[in-house]
Structure 1
């Protein structure tokens, strides 16, 4: 297990005590996680920025057993891709959990952009080439996954079927010609990297390297705290994002907080816990009848932070010049988002929530999120896309498990929290 350092959770005088409110009137069509809806449960988005015409940029989201959806900047569905069987002899139908974008990947004699997806039911990565026309293309995504890719975390199919498989995902591109995926493991504390490579005219991966993050934590009162979960499950990580300039991996351990981990995964730099969830350190017990965890001592106040309510979920990086910018994390337990400084000790700069207007519902229980500082379409000050569950409002059958995604102007967030807007193309080194 890696050694860790815990950062303090400083208070900031002069900031409002409650979260700021920003609004959205743009959301994608509802997805239903039932047989009639194709078992489509929204989870994680990624934004692909068109290099020449920002209006042709697209948003790609995972819908788990429902596959992938591709939307334009007006949140209209352009393409629905089913979760197909992986290209391997022992394949299962896929479950697409998380997605991120890789720019400038070599494929044959071409340089292409690719949506990289974690396939939980096959414990592997899947790859989808993006048509350069983006939103103007007839079929924006085409799968280009090489056959017979190795399992990421498991030795064989029987172990994959136990469920502890590929989960969260982010792309890391440290320099031109090198692309890696960072992957977390469901129900475990393992984080892996794998280099994306061409295999016979398609894309695969090699060189899987793993580290194990903490599952228990020493507390100032002399006790040791282990986050409570169902039997057999460890405190997992899902939301991950890489600062492409510094190689810092920001990883949300759902019941613990947000980590900063230096890439590559050598272990030479100790991971640092940037912020803790509010109930960090509260000793719980699992009740098999209710299948819930509850405090052993109701008066236990723990040693948590003041910004995140478990689960800590989606993470992404907003780039600014000279190392400036922000790390945005969704706080699923209270429907808010916390913004951290990208520089230094990643001090928290404020929180916000998203309210729907003009027939759009408020964003609840956000899982994944994606942000870009680039002007895309009408979002001239950058765009945040966030998961929303449950989706409610006019026309939604609330008796079914409904999810979707909402689009929010980063400019609105910046004005609400007094943040800097920087839309320069050179901030994200992938572009």
Structure 2
């Protein structure tokens, strides 16, 4: 999301008055803190990393359109619209629909699905006896606001592609952030509203092969929020409140609104707007990567311990393709991801050098090396 208040003059951010002691919170006092914003395209300090390739520009020209990606890697090749690929990247054009890209950055499929904002995907559900990849996207299209759902059949052939499956209805007026999470055998769909609403659902399949959802948590984050990512191993749900900071909630919906402020908005660490979030597993280590949109950098925390540990920041600089500024969303996948042997991070680029906004592919090994992880 591009905030109308973040880059010119002083940015007013609301932050919680608390000692960063790790204690869970259900509410907090607030006060106004001035943050001195920078100009459009400003890039703050961070370890330099280069992207290795990029997608074509999204189809909606001249607008803030490309938003959020998701990455899926298959153990064996699959067919998407007649093309063989070891997986795909889904990416939203929030003015018009959903793109499906190959690991070479080329477009495999486009679905004119309306005003989709954030997208995520997961495995673990079968429809008609066939295991499926499930995609979900926060949908702001008038008359269908909620979570739009899609399926991909890894065993499909020929014209096989991502197809609409249904939706999760919600009372959120403007759906914004979205992520899937696994809790044991359950698949949870988590929606973040523009005004800071938090809604969590358990997703299942009925006898007719249609999606069934059950709301299991509703809470209020406070102010405009978007990015979310889950870590099942530590029962954690991370949410970025754009002008406040990074929160850690319990992934267990019974934890309600209790939360801990991991990182408040702060110069050279996390600059408003705090945007996308993604997790990545690297051997026995797990990391959370965020988007510090206000200075076009990416803070990284190690999250497999008792509390998140800040490890530094990186930035995407010019190289084979141009650098990255003003990122909305990002996503990562671990292990072998097509031609990326140890993981891939895909990042939305707000100001592309040629054409309109697009997505950049970054080899995880380059990030790990740059930060000494």
List, as ranges, runs of 4+ consecutive aligned residues in structure 1 with deviation greater than 4 Å.
3-6
The yes-or-no answer on 1:185 pairing with 2:159 is: no
8 Å contact from structure 1 (residues 250, 258) kept in 2:
yes
Distance 2:332 2:134 in 1: 17
Per-residue CA shift, 1:320-363, capped at 9, x if unaligned? 455x32110011011100011112321210111012323x2111
1:143 aligns with 2:164: yes
How far off its partner does 1:8 sit?
6.9
The 5 A counterparts of 1:255-270 are 255-267=243-255, 270=258
User: Which residue number corresponds to residue 338 of structure 1?
Assistant: 299
1:6–1:273: 8 Å Cα contact kept in structure 2? no
Alpha-carbon distance change, 95 to 208 in structure 1, aligned in 2, over 3 angstroms: farther
**Deviations 1:34-88, CA, capped at 9 Å, x for gaps:** 5xx8x781100000111224951100011113100000001000000001xxxxx
What SS is found at the alignment partner of 1:272?
Answer: strand
1:317 aligns with 2:279: yes
1:237: which partner in 2? 225
Are the aligned partners of 1:40 and 1:66 in contact in 2 as well (CA < 8 Å)? no
Q: Distance in 2 between matches of 1:345 and 1:207?
A: 28
1:167 deviates by: 1.3
TM-score (norm 1): 0.71
Which runs of structure 2 are paired with 1:166-245 in the superposition (5 Å)?
166-176=175-185, 178-186=186-194, 188-199=195-206, 200-213=208-221, 215=222, 235-245=223-233
Does 2:64 align with 1:64?
no
In 2, the alpha carbon distance for the partners of 1:255 and 1:205 equals: 31
**Equivalences for residues 27-66 of structure 1 within 5 A:** 27-34=54-61, 41-53=65-77, 56-66=86-96
- Residue of structure 2 aligned with 1:414, choices 363, 368, 371: 368
* Separation in structure 2 between the aligned mates of residue 43 and residue 415 of structure 1, nearest angstrom: 27
State the Cα RMSD in Å.
2.5
Aligned mates of 1:4, 1:269 — CA distance in 2: 17
Separation in structure 2 between the aligned mates of residue 50 and residue 252 of structure 1, nearest angstrom: 29
Contact (CA 8 Å) 1:4, 1:271: kept in 2 or not? no
Task: Provide the residue aligned with 1:102 in structure 2.
Answer: 122
Who is 1:223 aligned against? none
- Give me the whole-angstrom Cα distance separating, in 2, the residues matched to 1:120 and 1:5: 34
Contact 2:130 2:153 in 1 (8 A): no
Structure 1 stretches lacking a partner, 5+ long? 10-16, 84-93, 155-163, 216-234, 279-304, 397-401, 420-431
How many angstroms does 1:414 deviate by?
0.3
Question: Using CA pairs below 8 Å that are at least 6 residues apart, which structure has the higher relative contact order?
Answer: 2
Q: Which has the larger radius of gyration?
A: 1
1:388–1:133 distance in 2 versus 1, CA, 3 Å: farther
Query: Residue 40 of structure 2 aligns with which residue?
Result: none
What TM-score comes out, normalization by structure 2 length? 0.81
